[in-house]
Every structure is written in structure tokens, then in C-alpha cells.
Structure 1
Amino acid sequence: MTDTSNAPGRSPARAVGALLAMAVGAFCFVAMETLPVGLLPLIAGEFQVSLPNAGLLVTGYGLTVAIMSVPLAYATGRVPRRLLLSVLLGVFVVATLASAAAASFTVLLAARVAVALSQSVFWAIVGPAAASLFSVEVRGRAAATVFSGSALAPMLGVPAGTWLGQQAGWRAAFFGLAAVGLLAFVLVATLMPTSPVGQGHAASGTAPSTRRYLLLVALTILVIAGMFACFTYTTPFITDVAGIPAAGVSLVLLLRGVVDLVGVILGGMLVDRRPHLVMIGSVALTLVSLLGLWAFGPSPAATIAMLAVSGFALGAMSPALTSRVLEVAPGNSDLASAGNSAAFNLGIAGGSAVGGLALGLSGLRATALVGGLLVVASLVLAVVDPALARADRRRESDPAPAPAAALTADTR
């Protein structure tokens, strides 16, 4: 992807390099957010906390991003993007090292909150920043490139972190991730071009619509909450429900990550042309995967297959959500992106909490059923959105009503 026609004077090679640098940053943040998923039993064991309490490492992280995304995006709205992204990744490195060295569960949780604060801003600006490097016709593919980094996190980061944690202790996984974060910091500081803030097609929505944006926010909360009600407890689900040995968890997560990346690639290829198809299809596949886990969880083959389906769905959904924000943002696209990032992480936090409650009351399989019920509601919203888009287009194409005075003919 080298189309920089909307960015006169910008080197195509540097634009692509900056895009790849942001993808590495996306890898780091998603890996950090989801790394405890594969390490929960180890962390819970060392600090002598229950699995639901250890799940606070995911819930607290997501809740922090949900609460702070919009305020921090507003506060940093005028900071040049290269400087801001560099600072965010610097915070990531320091806080990840603090996580690895944590002497107590409380310190570990606090260090993750610090990373979550930097992620609050990162996800608010990275979509518009990536889109601004290229023309509007390929912004879906630009977003998909960034999200390929986030897809590689569950494909490589979580399985590798899980394996490393099992071999050398969970702290080793955090040290390794800090090293990757340092690489991302260097790449962004070197390759990200300096450009004025708030200019270009990505600065605002191409088809602004407050009601469609609010619908998107609600859809995001529900579908992500449904997914993470189950996904937060994937490792114990794999071992205790499906009966797969602990040594096989990393391979299962690796497969899910591979399919996630395939979903990002295919979703990115289609989203600029068939945005509604990608959105509805990805939500529907999420529902299929969760209900499949609930119904057939004791079958190892079914569990592996359904986790793969959920990975594909999440991968395809990521560029679709970013593309939709850049379309319907009712005002500044950074703030709109921050709002949807907050919704995404509110879904993670809420889903993790609901999943923990379901786990405590009815066991691990119940997490998939509760998640599926939440996704049903999000699927309804995904189906409603195209009708709202058509209504908006009809309203724009209808001629403005004539002034009342002109409607009265003089018949004298």
C-alpha cells in the first residue's frame, strides 16, 4: 500500500514505514492487555489469589482505558503525533518492566493501570494517524495494517508469553514484551512523520451521524463484552472444560492468533467496499463461536474450532470498527475514536466481570453462554445500522422544503 495521494510531499516509503511502526506498537499494547489471559493460573498461584480476582488484571486494565480514553485524548489533542506516540510507547516500556518486577499483586495491578493510561491515548489516535498517511479510498487497508500488529499479539505474543511463562515464570514474559516495546518506541520515533494535528480527510467523519456513532459505541460494548466474558478465562476453559493438557494451551492460542490475522487481512481487503457485510458477518461469527463453546465445550475438537472462529471474527471486526468510526464520527475523529476505544475497553472490563460472575455461579461453560447472549444484542444493532445509513442518504438527497411564503400562490 503506497497510495499517499492525499498527503502531498510525503515519502511513500516513510508513510509505509510509519504504518508498520504503529503496527508494532499495536502489537505491544494488545499483547500487554491480553498477556495475563494465558498466565492467570501462574499469577494467581504466585500471589495466592483466586482466578476471578486474578481476572482483575484484565478487568482493571480495560476499565482504565474505558474511563480515561476520551479525557486523555482531549487533553493531548494538540500534541504532534510523533511526539505523542513516542511518549506513549516510552511509558509502555517503563510500566511493563515494573510489571515484571512487581513484588505484590497490588503493584502488578498498578503497573498495568499505568500501561492502560498510555493505551487510552494510543488507540484514540492510531486509527486516524494511520488513515491520514494515505488516501481515503484505502483507509480500511491502512487500518488493517495497524491491526495486523494487534492480531499478531494473540498469534505470537500470548502463546509465546504463555509458553515462556510456563518454562521460566510469568515475569519472563513481561520482560520479553518490554523489549519489543522498546523496538516499537525506536521505530515510531524514527519513522513517524511530523505533520500538523487536525488536518486531512481523517480529521473528521466522511458521513457524520450522531445516532450511527452512538449505535456503533453500543454495538462495540456488547460484542466485546460477550467475547471477553469467555475469552478472559480461555486457559482454564481449554484445560478444565475441553480436557486439553496445559502443554497444549499455547498451540491452541497460536492457532486462534493465526486465524485472527487471516481475519484482519480479509476484513481489511473487503471493508472499503463492503463495510456492512464485514461488520455483520464478524458479529455473527462471534455469536456462533460462543454458542458453540457453550454447547460443545467438552469436545476438544469443537473447542479448538470455535476458538478459531472467534479469532477470525475479532480480526475482521477490528478494521471494520475503525473504518466505521472514520465514517460516522460526528466531530473530531480522534475524540470519536477515543470514545469507541473506551467502549471497546468497557466491553473488556464488563465482559471479564460478567464472565467472572458466571464462572463463580455456574462454572466455566456458563461464561460462553452469557457472552453469547450479549452478542445477540450487538448483532441486532449491526443489522439496524445499514437501514440508518440509507435513511441518512435519503434525507441528504431530498430537496430542502420551500419557504412557507413561497408555497402560497397569488391567485388574484
Structure 2
Amino acid sequence: MARTEEIEDIAAAPGRTAARGWAAVAALAGATFTVVTSEMLPVGLLTPIGGALRVTEGTAGLTLTVTGLVGAVSAPLLTPLLARFDRRTVLCALMGVLSVGNLLAAWSPHFAVMTAARVLVGVGMGGVWAIAAGLAVRLVPSRSVGPATSLVFSGIAVASVLGVPAGTYLGELRDWRSAFVAVGVLALVVLLALAALLPRLPAQQELLLGGVLRLIGDPPVRTGLAVVALLVTGHFAAYTYVRPVLEAVSGAGAGTIGTLLLVYGLAGVAGNFASGAGAGRSPRGTLLVIGAVLAATVALTPLLGGSVLAAGALLAVWGLSYGGVSVGTQTWLLASAPGAREGVSALFVGVFNGAIALGALLGGLTADGVGVTAVMWLGGGLAAAAFAVTAFGGSPRS
């Protein structure tokens, strides 16, 4: 597998112009943006979803848990299962599944239908994310592979910090169902873009599930995956319930919360690019900063976020730190297994989405059992644990 990936490093798709290659990479970024936005869309809409479907906010949070669990399983399973098929065909099919899931969620008359819809979203999201991550090397010349891969992953980072506020705003302008319709239509548009811009991408390597799982035995990979699990679980335990927390702590209304989440999103985009530059020089140092700042900010939100201004400042710092989690942890893992990019990316996607599911589940149990503000202390504690693992775990290779 390592030899195959070395060959891919020096061979972009033959006969393609640079402009067309970059257009295909942009379409992949659009795909990753759409799948991650679809996954996290319920975060800013929990209150109206729960009211319409007659469930508690903790139960409504399971819409995120289900999608994350399915995505966590589908990423490492679909990648080897579909390894024989043309990647353009696979991606278009998965985007179709994603669109159907979002449109079904928009129609859902009760929670059981919503759950089925979110299962479909999880299948599409996990497969697209894992497969798209390794395709830039086949679309652009070797000298451009690094920036092209960063652009593909920028879709994930931007969706992580902007998808929620965008959905929240649309939900306020119309209703929560309109937000799901919009993302379902966006998935269809991206499907068409992928079909038009991607070349034929026949399978180039044999990828077995056993080989993917054996990567976990490498101490730097194991450490990186543990940091992903802790940071993402802690973040989503808290962030899934950020709307009810802000309503309870700062007294902010729905419109104000949308603005606060936009502040968070803009700060997160800045954090993504700042952390990308830092992680290239020192993955460990970058993740240490992220873990420390995230732990302090999340834990202090219930204590210091009593006014809208203070809540906005805390959310800005929160976004700045969490915006670097995807690029920071991905850089760590790629440096830990440079000869197994596709395999380690599948593990990354699986753990990342499993952590989203676990965070939403733990946050829901905490919110329903202890109180909604307690989710912030849970999130802060897990981020602090990530700091410790980063400090003392196995370091990636240079």
C-alpha cells in the first residue's frame, strides 16, 4: 500500500489542465463542506426540532449521536468495501444518499423518521469524508498536492465552524425544516459538480480492513486518535447544547444566539488557518495550545458568560481554538503514518465521528440528568485530558 501511495504522489490525472484539476479539488471541498454541515445541522436547531417532534432537548441531541455513530462505522468499512469502484461514481452515489437523508429529515413527521433520515446522512457523510481525503494527489501535479489536500480539508473545517450558525439563521428566517431542505438541495448541486468536474478515478490500490486497523498499533497514531477522541467528544458534549446553555446563562434570544454562533464561526475559520500553519511546524505544540485554551474557555462559559458581550467573547475564543482541531490532529496523524494516508484518514474519520456521537450522547445524558450548564464542565474536563495525552503520548515522526 505504501508503494502505491508513493506512485500516486508523483502522478496526477494525465491530460488534465491545472485549472481543471483545481476545479475538481474545489468540488471535493464542496463535498466535504456539505457532508459535515449535514452532520452538524441539528446543533443550532435542537430547541425547535424537539418542540416539533415532541421530544426533550436531550433526546433531540440523539439526531447528532446517530449520525456520528453511523459515520464512524461507515468510514473504515466503506473505504475498503468500495475500493474496487471508480471514485467519481462512488462519491456521486454517496452524495445522492446524503441528499435523500436531508430531505427525509425535513419531511419527518415524528422522531423515528428523523432517526432513519439521520442514518442515511451518516452513511453518506462517513463515506464521502474518508474517500475525498485522499483524492487530491490524483487531480493536481505533485508540487500542488499539499495545498490541494488542505483545500479539500478546508471544507470540513469551514463547515465545522460555519455550518451551525448558517443553519440556525435559516431556521430563524423560515423554520428548521427549511434548513434541512437547503442542505439537501446543496448536496444535489455538489453531486452535479462532482460528476462534471472529476475525471474517471478507477481504483489504484487494494485496501483491507485488517491493514487499516493495524495502524492503531503505532504509538504516535494511537496517541493522535486518542487526542481526536477527547477533544471532539468534549467539544460536542458542550457545543451540541450551546443554544440552551446560552439561553439559560446569558438570557440571549434566538436571534442573538444566531449572531453569537456566527462570531464563533468566523473565529473558527481564523483558527483553522492559524493552526494549519502552526501544526506544520509543531503538531504537538499546536495541539497543546488548543487543548489548554479549549478546556479553560468551555469550563468558564457558565461562570463568566452571564452577559451577551461576555458570552460572545468566550465563544470567539472557543471558536478560535476548536477551529484548529481538524487540521491539527490530521497533521499529527499524517506525520505519524506518511506511507498510509488513506488508511489513517479512514481511522481519523471513524474516530472523529464516533467522538461526535459520544459527545452528543454524554452531553444529552448530562443535560437531562444534572442540568444543561453541567455539559460545559464535562467538555472542559475532556479537553484538559486531551492536553495531558498530547503532552505525554507518543510523538509523530518529523
TM-score normalized with structure 2 length: 0.87
Q: Does 1:62 align with 2:74?
A: no
Aligned residues: 381
Corresponding residue to 1:211 among 178, 203, 219: 219
1:301 lines up with 2:305 in the alignment: no
Distance 2:156 2:343 in 1: 21
CA contact (8 A) 1:284 1:379 kept: yes
Instruction: State the 1:60 CA deviation.
Output: 1.1
Verify: 1:89 aligned to 2:118, yes or no: no
CA distance, structure 2, for counterparts of residue 148 and residue 320 of structure 1: 12
Structure 1 residues 55-84: Cα deviation after superposition (integer angstroms, max 9, x where no partner): 110111111112332122221122222221
The one-character-per-residue Cα deviations of 1:326-368 (angstroms, maximum 9, x if unpaired) are 3323874323212221111111111111112222233222111
CA distance in 2, matches of 1:294, 1:225: 19
The answer on whether the counterparts of 1:325 and 1:336 sit within 8 Å (CA) in structure 2 is yes
The letter of the residue matching 1:183 is V
Q: Distance in 1 between matches of 2:134 and 2:330?
A: 8
Task: Identify the residue that residue 54 of structure 2 maps to in structure 1.
Answer: 48
Aligned to 2:258: 250
Question: For 1:79 and 1:307, how far apart are their aligned partners in 2?
Answer: 43
Deviation at 1:212? Answer: 1.1
How far 1:172 sits from its partner (Å)? 0.8
Q: Does 1:7 align with 2:14?
A: no
Is contact 1:140-1:272 (8 Å) kept? no
Q: Which amino acid aligns with 1:96?
A: N
Q: Output the amino acid matched with 1:148.
A: S
| Residue of structure 2 equivalent to 1:402 | none
Q: Deviations over 1:266-303 (max 9, x none)?
A: 23334333333333322332223212214323233332
Unaligned runs of 5+ in 1: 394-412
Secondary structure at 2:109 match in 1: coil
* Cα drift, residue 319 of structure 1: 1.8
AA partner of residue 210 (structure 1) = D
- Tell me if 1:351 matches 2:355: no
- How far did 1:245 drift? 1.7
What is the alpha-carbon distance in structure 1 between the residues aligned to residue 141 and residue 377 of structure 2?
Answer: 42
The change in CA–CA distance for 1:126 and 1:324 in structure 2 (over 3 A counts) is farther
Counterpart position of 2:277: 269
Question: Which moved further from structure 2: 90-99 or 46-55?
Answer: 90-99
Give the whole-Å Cα distance in 1 for the aligned partners of 2:237 and 2:258: 20
Match of 1:388 in 2: 395
Pair 1:122 & 2:128 matched: yes
Does structure 2 retain, via aligned residues, the 8 Å contact 1:271–1:319?
yes
Question: Which runs of 5 or more structure 2 residues have no equivalent in the other structure?
Answer: 1-7, 206-210
Identify if the C-alpha distance between structure 1 residues 389 and 27 changes in structure 2 by more than 3 Å, giving closer, same or farther. closer
What secondary structure sits across from 2:134 in the alignment?
helix
Partners of 1:285 and 1:132 in 2: CA distance: 37
Give CA deviations for 1:156-197 in whole Å, capped at 9, x if unaligned: 432232222223221111111112111211111121233453
8 Å CA contact 2:86–2:201 kept in 1: the answer is yes
Aligned equivalent of 2:290, options 262, 282, 300: 282
The residue type paired with residue 279 of structure 1 is: L
Does the aligned pair in 1 maintain the 2:161–2:319 contact within 8 Å? Answer: no
Distance 1:314 1:11, change over 3 A: farther
Q: Structure 1 residues 131, 267: CA separation in 2 closer, same or farther (over 3 Å shift)?
A: farther
* Aligned equivalents of 1:234, 1:159: Cα separation in 2: 11
Residue 301 of structure 1 aligns to a residue whose secondary structure is helix
The structure number with the bigger radius of gyration is: 1
Equivalent residue for 2:151?
145
| Counterpart contact for 1:261–1:315, Cα < 8 Å | yes
Distance (Å, rounded) in 1 between the aligned partners of 2:396 and 2:43: 37
8 Å contact kept, 1:147–1:264:
no
Query: For residues 155 and 369 of structure 1, do their structure 2 counterparts lie closer, same or farther at Cα, with a shift above 3 Å needed?
Result: closer
The one-letter code sitting in structure 2 at the alignment partner of 1:6 is I
Q: Does 2:200 align with 1:194?
A: yes
Within the candidate set 78, 85, 93, 1:72 is matched to: 78
Deviation of 1:155 (Å)? 5.1
Aligned partners of 1:59, 1:389: CA distance in 2, in Å? Answer: 30
Contact 2:160–2:323 (8 Å) recurs in 1: no
Give the superposed CA RMSD: 2.6
Q: Distance in 1 between matches of 2:204 and 2:391?
A: 32
1:362 aligns to 2:378 (yes or no): no
Tell me how far 1:112 sits from its aligned partner.
1.0
Q: Is the 8 A contact 1:64 1:117 kept in 2?
A: yes
Query: Retained in 2: the 8 A contact 1:31–1:153?
Result: yes
SS at match of 1:388: coil
Distance 1:280-1:120 versus aligned 2 partners, 3 A rule: same
Query: Cα 1:138–1:211, aligned 2, differ >3 Å: closer, same or farther?
Result: farther
Contact residue 27 and residue 152 of structure 1 kept, 8 A: yes
Please say if residues 22 and 148 of structure 2, whose CA atoms lie closer than 8 Å, have aligned partners that are also in contact.
Answer: no
Residues 335, 290 of structure 1: CA spacing in aligned structure 2 closer, same or farther, 3 A cutoff? same
Q: Note the C-alpha offset of 1:251.
A: 0.8
Task: Pick the aligned partner of 2:107 from 95, 101, 111.
Answer: 101
- Residue of structure 1 equivalent to 2:380: 372
Aligned counterparts of 2:340 and 2:162: Cα–Cα separation in 1: 34
| Corresponding residue of 2:318 | 310
Quick one: structure 1 residues 269 and 121, their matched pair in 2 at CA, closer, same or farther if it must change by over 3 Å? same
- Quick one: structure 1 residues 156 and 368, their matched pair in 2 at CA, closer, same or farther if it must change by over 3 Å? closer
* 2:395 aligned counterpart, secondary structure: helix
